[in-house]
Amino acid sequence: MSAMPAEVAHPSREDPPLIRLRGITRTYGEGGTALMALRGVDLDIHAGEFVAIMGPSGSGKSTAMNILGCLDTPTSGEYRFRGVPLQSLDRDERALLRRRYFGFVFQGFHLLARTTAQENVELPLVYRGEPAASRKKAAAAALELVGLSDRAGHTPAELSGGQQQRVAIARAIVTQPQVLLADEPTGNLDSQRSVEIMELLQGLNRDHGITVLMVTHEPDMAAYTSRMVRFVDGHVASDHANPNVAGRG
């Protein structure tokens, strides 16, 4: 992992959005059994933002996150990333986009059980075909960034839940993504570990300029973000800045 700047400028709404959704719909099934998960979503995300995507079960927030991360495609509407319309990309091109620009963190960690933290973090670079020496160096730097250099040789079974999620975050950022998508990243953690993970995500956003999009149903976790977008019934019901961001100061 190459050196990152110590300080990053705050995002400006005057700049073109990094992500732009216009009229996004997503329908599963056909005919009378069709389920419309998204119903014409408009959303702009600017580089450097930390956004909570919230809403009750069935609101469309997870579908929206999957579309944002190019894990799913909309039924209609336009998704532009860095100004490029993604609906024109084929499956291989979307996969390349994910590998180059996106990192993913999930509630369940998804670490390989019989491999070390170091090896888990190296995995995305293995898929990229990076030489062994460069991927070991990058993985070590990512583990240091999340405070786990001393656990590089440990397997997931030898790590706490909070440490496992830190490894998962290191794996997500080892490719130096522009966007980190976190799906309920504190859902399997106790309150203290949850705060530690949120402060880590804040630091990656604030100090390294990574745009963070986080799905959560927990208001106390959303409080650590700088913007909250709430979905209800497939629509964006509210979208506002958070004037009292937790964990700062």
The CA-based diameter of the chain, rounded to the nearest angstrom, is: 56
Termini Cα distance of the chain: 28
- Does 2 reside within a domain? no
CATH code of residue 77: 3.40.50.300
- Does 92 reside within a domain? yes
- As a whole number, mean pLDDT of residues 43-61 equals 96
- Does 4 reside within a domain? no
- As a whole number, mean pLDDT of residues 1-13 equals 44
- Does 8 reside within a domain? no
- Does 12 reside within a domain? no
Mean of per-residue pLDDT scores for the chain:
91
DSSP, collapsed to helix, strand or coil, labels residue 54 as: strand
The pLDDT of residue 249 is above 50: no
Number of domains in the chain: 1
Q: How far is CA 166 from CA 59, 72, 148, 151, 178, in A?
A: 28, 26, 8, 11, 18
**233: domain range?**
19-241
pLDDT in tens, 172-206: 999 999 999 999 999 889 999 999 999 999 999 99
- Does 10 reside within a domain? no
- Does 247 reside within a domain? no
- Does 56 reside within a domain? yes
